Amino acid sequence: MDIEEFRKRGYETVDRICKYYQELENYEVLSKVEPGYLKKVLPKEVPEEPEPWEKIQSDIETKIIPGITHWQSPNFFAFYPANSSFPSILGDMYSDMFNVIGFNWASSPACTELESIVLDWMGKLIGLDPNFHSDGRGGGVIQGTASEATLVTLLAARYRMLEEYKAKGLDGEELRTISTRLIAYGSDQTHPCLNKATMIANTRFRALPTDNNFSLCGETVKQEIEKDIANGLIPFFIVGTIGTTNSAAIDKITDIVDAIKGTNIWLHIDAAYAGSALICSEYKYLLEGINQANSFDLNMHKGLLTNFDCSCLWIKERKYLINALSTASPDFLKNSASKDGLGLDFKDWQIPFGRRFRALKIWFVIRTYGAKGLREHIRKRHNLAKQFYNKILQYPDLFIIPLPSNFGLVNFYIKSSNSSKNSNKLTEMVYNRLNENGKVYLTQTKMRGQNMIRFAPGSPLTIERHINQICELLLNITQEVIAISL
């Protein structure tokens, strides 16, 4: 494929992308293929001879698209949104064009410096404390996911704690023993990536119970810390969540801050989903606790029109992250900028060495929409969720909404008063029928034994008409399920 052929096929690809977005509403949202479908229709071996582009493109239509669950559909209400936008797609195209591997400053200065700048922009837009900015002792870095952000901050916290014991004169086997006593905390609603991080780091983990609003409270944290210290364990890391996956609950961050005062426990804030709302004035009240934390993470790919992957992590003391993850540089990585400390080497802020030029898509999105446009998108998403909430609230004989709509998420379940089936069974039946219908896609959860259906709008293409359609579909299916369950 030479330049002229690439030009021709590139235009065709952009046209196909535009056609896809124009026709998205016509696709069934959830793919209906069976596991192993693709293996049955693709060759068993690499083709020996080159194949024409027309055949490759044809296979996208006939083999790949049938196996796609359409996350950008206006009728996708599952998980949490993974927003796309045309400026972000174009940013990725430029990133692919340059194809730089930004492990250190010298490998491509623009890749490193733009990332530092746009993360500072976003930190200021959110309202993060200046200590999180790159011109101080902290700074921001793009991780692939919030799971990576949780892991690297946990490793930084472990490093900091072990350094404290080294300063007391411990070394060798004594430090290894200390490491096995380290324990991290989250709530029973915290994302399982924290548990996974502790598995990787070979530290302990405990999920703490939450209150009636599914929030982690400071008193619970304080009691667990005191108990574990008395039992010879060493608390070193805790995650406070703003917008839990199950219910978008908010942990009581300021109370947790008070509970860990006087300790060397690292507080990481996981705001992967809900953190994007902090650009709006009505959510700035959450900053009081956030700005007392050691690190903070949000996913721009969940709420700010930036293609996956784009998880933004800010840290107050970057030296702990760098010291925990850096290695002696071989000669082929040595350069004057790194040696003199004038340029950041982001390879020391993450698990892999290599990294893509992801800052470009953030730069394009911020400049295309502006802060005003991003706020409008967040508020539109939340308003659509409130519309859904208010509509099903009109049927108290059918639906129970145990929690208010939070950050654009609504959880509900089916009432069982006039049915032979219990609420869990009815909710499961309605959930399955909704997704089998093909017109919409939602996900489910279980909270304290109760099955719930999660509704989370987010596509920029979703408008009030789509909310009315899913409410009508939900009402009809629920009435049918209850009728056959009498």
Task: Supply the CATH number for residue 336's domain.
Answer: 3.40.640.10
Q: Does residue 280 lie in a domain region?
A: yes
Total number of domains in the chain: 1
pLDDT of residue 403: 86
Q: Which domain holds residue 295?
A: 101-356
Q: Does residue 465 lie in a domain region?
A: no
Residue 197, pLDDT above cutoff 90? yes
pLDDT (average), residues 210-231: 95
Residue 261: pLDDT band by 50, 70, 90 thresholds?
very high
pLDDT of residue 23: 93
Which range of 108-112, 225-229, 324-328, 329-333 scores highest in mean pLDDT? It is 225-229
Model confidence pLDDT, tens digit, residues 12-24: 999 999 999 999 9
Q: Does residue 405 lie in a domain region?
A: no
The least confident of 132-141, 185-194, 325-334 is 325-334
Q: Does residue 37 lie in a domain region?
A: no
Residue 331, pLDDT above cutoff 80? no
Q: Does residue 286 lie in a domain region?
A: yes
Whole-number mean pLDDT of the chain?
A: 92
Residue 382, pLDDT above cutoff 70? yes
Q: Which residue has the higher pLDDT, 347 or 129?
A: 129
Residue 39: pLDDT band by 50, 70, 90 thresholds?
very high
pLDDT of residue 82: 87
Model confidence pLDDT, tens digit, residues 229-246: 999 999 999 999 999 998
pLDDT (average), residues 90-116: 91
Q: Does residue 293 lie in a domain region?
A: yes
Residue 335, pLDDT above cutoff 80? no
Residue 81: pLDDT band by 50, 70, 90 thresholds?
confident
Model confidence pLDDT, tens digit, residues 433-476: 999 988 999 999 999 899 999 999 989 999 999 999 999 999 99
Residue 418: pLDDT band by 50, 70, 90 thresholds?
low
Model confidence pLDDT, tens digit, residues 169-182: 888 888 888 888 99
Q: 3-state SS string over the chain?
A: CCHHHHHHHHHHHHHHHHHHHHHHHHCCCCCCCCCCHHHHHCCCCCCCCCCCHHHHHHHHHHHHHHHCCCCCCCCECCCCCCCCCHHHHHHHHHHHHHCCCCCCHHHCHHHHHHHHHHHHHHHHHHCCCHHHCCCCCCEEEEECCHHHHHHHHHHHHHHHHHHHHHHCCCCCHHHHHHHHCEEEEEECCCCCHHHHHHHHHCCEEEEECCCCCCCCCHHHHHHHHHHHHHCCCEEEEEEEEECCCCCCCECCHHHHHHHCCCCCCEEEEECCCHHHHHHCHHHHHHHHHHCCCCEEEEEHHHHCCCCCCCEEEEECCHHHHHHHHCCCCCHHHCCHHHHCCCCCCHHHHCCCCCCCCCHHHHHHHHHHHHHHHHHHHHHHHHHHHHHHHHHHCCCCCCEECCCCCECCEEEEEECCCCCCCCHHHHHHHHHHHHHHHCCCECEEEEECCEEEEEECCCCCCCCHHHHHHHHHHHHHHHHHHHHHCC
Q: Does residue 372 lie in a domain region?
A: no
pLDDT of residue 288: 87
Q: Does residue 1 lie in a domain region?
A: no
Give me the percent of the chain exceeding a pLDDT of 90. 78
pLDDT (average), residues 219-233: 96
pLDDT of residue 438: 85
